[in-house]
Structure 1
Amino acid sequence: MGRGVKEDKTMPKRGSGCFELSVIFLLLNVSGFVVPVTGFSLKYCRISYNVAICSGSKLETVPQDIPSTVNGLDLSVNKIKKIQASDFKTLSVLTQLDLKRNSINQIAPGTFANLISLKKLNLNNNRLVQLRDDLFDGLSNLTELRLYRNHIKAVASTSFKSLTSLTFLDISNNQLQQITLVHTILQHLPNLRELVVKKNKLSTFHSWELTNSSIKLASLDLSQNPIAVFSITADVFPNLAWLNIGDSSTKLWMKWDVHNKTFLSRVSTLDISGLRITSEDMETLRDTFNSSLTSLRMNAMKHTNLLAVINISCTIPTLSALQLQLNRIFYVHSNFFQLCINVKEVDLSNNLIKHIDDQAFRSLHGLRILSLNHNKLTSVPGDVRNLPTLEELDLSKNNISTLKCNDFAKLTKLRELSLNQNFISALQECVFEDLIRLRVLKLQNNTLSKLNGAFKKHLPNLKQLRLNGNKLEAIKRGEFMGLLSLQNLSLHENQIKEVENGSFIGLTNLTDIQLQSNNIRKTALDKGGFNHLLNLIRLDLRDNHIKYSDSSPLPDPPFSQLSRLETLAIPGQHSRGKSNLPSNFLQGLTNLLDFSARNIQLLSLANETFNYTPRLQTLDISSNDLKELSPELFSPIQSLKSLYVSRTSLWSLDFLIGANLTKLEFLQARNNEYSILTEKVFNSTPALVYLDLQGNSFTCDCDNAWFKRWALNNTQTQVFDAYNFVCNYPPDLKNTKLLDLDVRSCTVDTGFICYISTTFTIVLFMVVSFTYHFLRWQLAYAYYFFLALLFQTKHKNKQGHDQYDAFISYNTYDEPWVIRELLPKLEGEQGWRLCLHHRDFEPGKPIIDNITDAIYGSRKTICVISRRYLESEWCSREIQVASFRLFDEKKDVLILVFLEEIPTTQLSPYYRMRKLLKKKTYLSWPRAEEHPELFWEKLRQALNSKEDLGDNRFLLVDRP
């Protein structure tokens, strides 16, 4: 430590560093034993779009393995009876919770305390009897609560205390008997907008029992309650716009008592269906809503003079919509709507109407919507032609069999016409000629077998045409050429066999055509019937009879002109025997995103099949006999995100290894033949988030050890139904669960190995450190000792005379003295043969070999010692090899010549060790300055002497 520098007591002392380093290594070892994060494999649920779906799993308790990051949880249709306080404690980001159709009769206090983000809670169809204090504590952000069809009889005063954000509440179909219970609810719900209390046991409705102050309710449903008295004595509903008090189950006549006509002045929709109401009460009711009502529903008015209440209602000047369903009307006579001059919408559905007077709608000058569906009409009512403002006409589910040319005459403003589910067998060319603004035409589920040119000239603005469920057998050329604006054409569930070339000519705006469930064969496709659908986006040909016997390329691929097609479906072709798919079947479909060829009995797929669909994202080839798939098949479709290969008899999923499907997110591979899944398969699909292997059985041994650990621990890929994977081998584990397999014996514990190896490294490091600090010189000496021993083996059997009299060991800095003083005297005057580095070492030979050969090839070794010499590594090695001859050959060949005075303290342990062995032949040049001739004589005598260990005659200076 430098002068003037104080000791830093915050720094570790020497020696403590090793201990602290050891502690760090040990802590790193312990981290290897940390339990991994739970993966995506759930026992009873699956996750879709961040919603955990556990419905229909026969659960009796809430699963505890739901990831805390889901924002939706569906536990509907199970057998849960009790909700525990800990069931949802980790789901703080949950926004939707569905618990309907269970058997819940008890909810523990604090159950919802941690669901601070919950927006929607569904408890419909359970067995709750009482809502206890603070039941919904913690749900301050809840906006929608459904309690339909429980057995609720009592509500505690603070049950809804926390629901300050609630806007919708459905507590219908329960056992509430007094409106005061509803008051208990409403007092804590300042933001409630919709309240549904239908089908309880409320016998009266008095506003003062509900609340004494104004509330923000906009919608109130009190239907299906036995209400005998409806009384409002204060303006408590200033924002109410929708009111339903219909479908009363009481046999009494309802008493209507609204003290002030302004109390319900904002109600625009009123439903009084099924009420027993007199004409006088109807007039009172009319006066109450005279300034605001726009829609009135009077369905199933069984014990009421319907005609009278209709005419009273129609005197409300603002009334525009009238619904009269389920009133068992047989005949609509001329004065039925006599006073309904302002009505724009009439709904007469679900009656028994057979006839309509030709003047029945004469007063409805501005009628826009007329619904007559589900009646007994046999033809289009003649009075319809007198409704020039009509925009929507629904005649579905009647007994109409024939359409005449003038049935829709003058309906130039009609936009939607529904004639589905009748008995129409044929069309006439003129039947739709006046419908120039028609956008939607529904003719499905009739008995149409001929179109007779009905769509060749007319309906220029039609966008949607539904002809499915008829008996069409062929599509003739130009059949739809007048439908220039058509976008959606439904022709499924017919008997179509022929699709002629030019069948769809003129349909340049068509984007969606449905041709599934017909009798279309490959010969129909060969005619080029789809060539004119240049803007088609979706084409459905499933459940037909398309079959190809081989994969040879077609001369005219059927979809070569459909470059904008995005979805093509051909699954479920009904044909005998196995089939193939032509290698260029998809030629031209450069923008195809979704292709389904499920269950068409394919034997193979040519590697070129998808060369024409570079943008494909979803591929379904399930339920075929493919057995194996080539990785090259997927090379052109690197954008694939979803792949379905279930029930294809695949022996393995190894095709994924070379397929390079790096964007694949969804893989369904159910019911196949493979039993082992390797790590390489899933390493090749780095984007996979959902894996469905349901219905496979697995080999339960170490071959699947990796897959078991991966299914449990990976946090990216959800392995659907993994906990139900069963074993098929070995026999003693058959039908056991794969995830119950004990795989500890299958692999070495990596953490334990790391612990042992790191501990060993630490110990070794410490041992080496201590050894180096205290024994480094002894180790160095031992190193050279054994090095010399190695070379001794090489030289001990050599025969013959020594090559040199002496080997001169010196440092480069002392070379001038050796050249000027030593060589002239010993070689020039005395005639000795000397060995020197620069002159006698063999070029290219290892230095250590040259040194060893020189020392063992010389009788003596003269070490010219100086301070530079002691610092030289090579000089140190030379003196050590020479010293070894003392042990090896029992010869003391070493002559030490000191060129300068060196204190004993500076001599290394090597030289002190020699002194311990034997004091012998030490010469000092500085002390021979007065008698140099004596120095050279002593050196000559030393060179001439024998190597006897007992010879001490030539001591000039004894250096202790």
Structure 2
Amino acid sequence: MDCKWTHANSDAIVNCSGRGLRSIPRLNDSVTNLDLSHNETAHVSRTSLPKHLKFLDLSWNKFKALTGSPFVSLTKLRFLDISHCQLRDVDKGMFGELYNLQYLNISYNRELGFASLPNITFNLKQTKIVSLDFNGINCATGIGTIIKRHHLRNIQMTSLKKLSLASNRLELFETGVISNLPKTLQIFSTAENKLTTGAYLLEFPSMPEMKVYNMSFQHPPPKYPDSIVNQCKEKMDENFKRPDLTMTSSKFEFNWSFLLPPNLEIYYAQSSRLYVKDPTLSANTPNLRHIYLQNNFLISLKRPIHATNNRIDRIETLDLSNNFCSHMFQLNDGQYIKNLNLSHNDLGRDFEEDTDGIICRTFISLQVLDISFNEIISLPKLFLKNSNNLKYINASGNRLSSWIVDIETMSNLTLLDLSENKLATLSTDTRSQFEKAFQRSNLTINLSGNGLSCTCENQDFMYWIQKNQNHFPNIENYFCSDKDIDIEFDFKTLETSIDKLRKQCASYLFLYIGSAVSLAVIFSVFIGFILVKNRWKIRYIIYKTKQRFGQKAHFKQISTNVNYDHDAFISYSGLQLRFVVDEVLPRLEDDRNLKVWIKDRDYEVGIPKVDNIMNGIQESKRTICLISKKYLESKWRDYELNMAKVEGIKDRGNLNYVILILLPEVYEDIHMYPNKIRDLINKDCHIEYPNEPCGNDDFWDRLAEKIED
């Protein structure tokens, strides 16, 4: 036997599904869960099943009839599924022997018919039944069926919580069927039938515990070609006589109290072919939370629903989509509605005329609003004035050319769908509101399917789109409607397209002015940089030019003789004058017969200081700079040093013309030499003055050699 065994806690679970079994395999009594679905089994006997079963699935087999007492020994069985088994006959009290039975599914045995229900339900009051599924126990095609009182009389005294009668061509309940259903019933489904109105509607308030009622998808057409070739014939009641159904149309108007179970929470009536126009309704359902009425014919809802004793004021979900509705009532008690779907209707005119926000004025808890595909041309600014808790607004598929609805107070709004409209641009005020929402709640906006205006007149909007493109999902699919601009605008390459638009729209005058100013600034910066970088060379060239052309008498003519008037030009700060007089002059002039130029002795009276400096530099074989801390801080010494370097480069051919004497306070305390002397130090154009007297003679000998070299 090819079955799968698993164990969970104290349960032994055996899965024999889809094995092609023609008979039930022998299993020991330890098995508690058995799945025999999707096999070819046609018979079940009393001895073929383990006695301690709790779960048994026999669906999708070929049982034509259940006779005898095949389940009598299964006293612990809780779940039994015999759906899709081609059953036609079930012996009376077959399931009443299963005292612990809670869930019974006998659905889609099309030939059972409602006539089999008395046998199936007999003695179920002795069980613990809570759920019955009788879906599809009548043929898919044929005239409408009716449930009579005796069909479900046996379940009246049970503790049933769920009853499903879907897909049975059910057209009518006999009077007394609904009122005699178990009072414990919480979930009731009559979906996919062809219900008509009748007196049974007055009995719904007799179900005090019902929370969910599903009557959706009424009048579903049978599948083709099954509806033609199907030979199904369900079992009929003996002496059956077709009742006189005078109310066969689903087109009706409610002009009376809408009777529903008092504790109903969810009401499904979608696709039920309800035809309603301006009804006068009243209801008493204090616990009703969710209503689904989509895909019907609620043509007009001008009149509001009146709550009996103010007991219908806590609805949270209301779906009225796809109802061909052209007029909307003013819901006076909508303060608890969180999800409202009005899409695929024709409410545009009502919304456009609601300048004071009357329709939605009570929707203070609204979080999701869908008004898509309603032929809306414009929405008033105050349309949602009280709906401050909105998170999602869907206004797609309309004819909106602008958006002026005030969203200033919607602090939770995260998605606004304006796709498939006629929006070419957004006003400055609207963009300002959206920018605040971007920061406040990270709002995203869908503008796809709108022909945006990509012209110069609308360039501010296009720049705004580019700036906030992260808030526009699928922006690469946006497109332009304008053909009067000479550029190809593609949102897939938004940055490039915006640049093209900006260039196309720029005024030539402003372009020229801007270009001229930009070039002037760039040129000025460049010239300034060149002047600063080469300021010493420029000064030197000016001096040489003046000297060459003899513009002033005090300029001496440039000599081509290699013999100089002085051996060295001494550059020093004023604080080093004593050092120059006591050390430099005696050591170089007295001891070594060298002639030096110092400013305090050799300045020519009546000649400008700058010219004296240049004359001294040019008339000297070498320039010697006494580098101290004060020297490095002096602007005039900076001038002398740089003029000497330029002289060395331009006229002498190298920097060896300049000799730096680094005093101890410089080379001992300064870890990083300034740029003005670093190049000379790197070229070894310096001598360090010793801080010990014993090294003085050697220092002056080395200096004299450098001067005379």
User: TM-score normalized by structure 1?
Assistant: 0.44
Match of 2:208 in 1: 484
Bigger helix fraction: 2
Please point out which of 29, 34, 38 is paired with 1:326. Answer: 38
Between the aligned partners of 1:461 and 1:733, the Cα distance in structure 2 is 74
Match of 2:614 in 1: none
- The residue type paired with residue 691 of structure 1 is I
The DSSP-based 3-state class of the residue aligned with 2:430 is: helix
- Aligned-residue offset at 1:319: 1.1
Shifted more, 672-681 versus 495-504: the winner is: 495-504
Match of 2:155 in 1: 433
Residues 1:354 and 2:64 are matched in the alignment: yes
Residues 1:365 and 1:557: Cα distance change in structure 2 (over 3 Å): closer
**Contact kept in structure 1, 2:95 and 2:123, CA below 8 Å:** no
Match of 2:557 in 1: none
Please point out which of 562, 565, 568 is paired with 2:312. Answer: 562
- Aligned-residue offset at 1:734: 8.9
Match of 1:298 in 2: 16
The DSSP-based 3-state class of the residue aligned with 1:322 is: strand
The DSSP-based 3-state class of the residue aligned with 1:546 is: strand
Match of 2:334 in 1: 589
Match of 2:120 in 1: 407
- Aligned-residue offset at 1:485: 1.1
Match of 1:784 in 2: none
Match of 1:341 in 2: 51
**Contact kept in structure 1, 2:320 and 2:341, CA below 8 Å:** yes
- The residue type paired with residue 473 of structure 2 is F
Please point out which of 464, 485, 504 is paired with 2:187. Answer: 464
Residues 1:663 and 1:381: Cα distance change in structure 2 (over 3 Å): same
- The residue type paired with residue 344 of structure 2 is N
Match of 2:476 in 1: 723
- Aligned-residue offset at 1:664: 2.1
Residues 1:580 and 2:302 are matched in the alignment: no
- Aligned-residue offset at 1:370: 0.7
- Aligned-residue offset at 1:504: 2.9
Residues 1:645 and 2:357 are matched in the alignment: no
**Contact kept in structure 2, 1:567 and 1:594, CA below 8 Å:** yes
The DSSP-based 3-state class of the residue aligned with 2:383 is: helix
- Aligned-residue offset at 1:709: 4.5
Residues 1:465 and 1:557: Cα distance change in structure 2 (over 3 Å): closer
Match of 2:256 in 1: 501
Match of 2:586 in 1: none
Please point out which of 85, 89, 93 is paired with 1:375. Answer: 85
In the alignment, structure 2 segments of 5+ residues that lack a partner are: 140-144, 220-249, 526-709
- The residue type paired with residue 408 of structure 1 is T
Matches within 5 A, 1:46-125: none
- Aligned-residue offset at 1:562: 2.0
- Aligned-residue offset at 1:628: 0.6
The DSSP-based 3-state class of the residue aligned with 1:742 is: helix
Deviations along 1:310-363, one digit per CA (max 9) or x if unpaired, are: 22x1x2x431011112221223344433xx211121111111211112211122
Residues 1:706 and 1:468: Cα distance change in structure 2 (over 3 Å): farther
- Aligned-residue offset at 1:561: 4.5
- Aligned-residue offset at 1:394: 0.8
- Aligned-residue offset at 1:661: 3.8
Matches within 5 A, 1:17-416: 267-268=6-7, 294-302=12-20, 306-307=23-24, 310-311=25-26, 313=27, 315=28, 317-337=29-49, 340-380=50-90, 382=92, 383-399=94-110, 400-403=112-115, 404-412=117-125, 413-416=128-131
- Aligned-residue offset at 1:433: 3.0
The DSSP-based 3-state class of the residue aligned with 2:429 is: helix
- Aligned-residue offset at 1:493: 1.4
In the alignment, structure 1 segments of 5+ residues that lack a partner are: 1-243, 248-263, 270-290, 764-960
- The residue type paired with residue 386 of structure 1 is E
Residues 1:473 and 1:598: Cα distance change in structure 2 (over 3 Å): same
Between the aligned partners of 1:451 and 1:321, the Cα distance in structure 2 is 37
Match of 1:831 in 2: none
The DSSP-based 3-state class of the residue aligned with 2:95 is: helix
Residues 1:594 and 1:475: Cα distance change in structure 2 (over 3 Å): farther
**Contact kept in structure 2, 1:414 and 1:438, CA below 8 Å:** yes
Matches within 5 A, 1:495-574: 496-498=250-252, 501-505=256-260, 507-523=261-277, 525-528=279-282, 531-548=283-300, 561-574=311-324
- Aligned-residue offset at 1:639: 2.2
Residues 1:723 and 1:450: Cα distance change in structure 2 (over 3 Å): same
Deviations along 1:93-140, one digit per CA (max 9) or x if unpaired, are: xxxxxxxxxxxxxxxxxxxxxxxxxxxxxxxxxxxxxxxxxxxxxxxx
Residues 1:408 and 1:456: Cα distance change in structure 2 (over 3 Å): same
Identity of paired residues, percent? 20
- Aligned-residue offset at 1:690: 2.4
Residues 1:387 and 1:678: Cα distance change in structure 2 (over 3 Å): same
Residues 1:741 and 1:442: Cα distance change in structure 2 (over 3 Å): same
Residues 1:524 and 1:488: Cα distance change in structure 2 (over 3 Å): farther
The DSSP-based 3-state class of the residue aligned with 2:172 is: coil
Deviations along 1:46-72, one digit per CA (max 9) or x if unpaired, are: xxxxxxxxxxxxxxxxxxxxxxxxxxx
- Aligned-residue offset at 1:457: 2.9
Match of 2:173 in 1: 451
Between the aligned partners of 1:556 and 1:510, the Cα distance in structure 2 is 17
- The residue type paired with residue 347 of structure 2 is L
Shifted more, 493-502 versus 531-540: the winner is: 493-502
Match of 1:188 in 2: none
Residues 1:416 and 1:293: Cα distance change in structure 2 (over 3 Å): closer
- Aligned-residue offset at 1:670: 1.4
Residues 1:721 and 1:707: Cα distance change in structure 2 (over 3 Å): farther
- Aligned-residue offset at 1:475: 5.9
User: TM-score normalized by structure 2?
Assistant: 0.58
Matches within 5 A, 1:813-892: none
Residues 1:677 and 2:390 are matched in the alignment: no
Please point out which of 473, 476, 485 is paired with 2:196. Answer: 473
- The residue type paired with residue 388 of structure 1 is Y
The DSSP-based 3-state class of the residue aligned with 1:474 is: coil
Deviations along 1:288-318, one digit per CA (max 9) or x if unpaired, are: xxx976111112334x6744xx22x1x2x43
Deviations along 1:852-895, one digit per CA (max 9) or x if unpaired, are: xxxxxxxxxxxxxxxxxxxxxxxxxxxxxxxxxxxxxxxxxxxx
Matches within 5 A, 1:544-943: 544-548=296-300, 561-574=311-324, 579-582=326-329, 584=330, 586-604=331-349, 605=351, 606=354, 607-653=357-403, 655-656=404-405, 660-685=409-434, 686=437, 687-714=441-468, 718-731=471-484, 736-738=489-491, 739=494, 741-743=497-499, 744-745=502-503
**Contact kept in structure 2, 1:700 and 1:741, CA below 8 Å:** no
Deviations along 1:607-664, one digit per CA (max 9) or x if unpaired, are: 31112222222211111122011012121222222111111101112x1357654432
Between the aligned partners of 2:399 and 2:278, the Cα distance in structure 1 is 31
Residues 1:443 and 1:681: Cα distance change in structure 2 (over 3 Å): same
- Aligned-residue offset at 1:454: 2.2
Residues 1:569 and 1:419: Cα distance change in structure 2 (over 3 Å): same
Between the aligned partners of 1:482 and 1:386, the Cα distance in structure 2 is 30
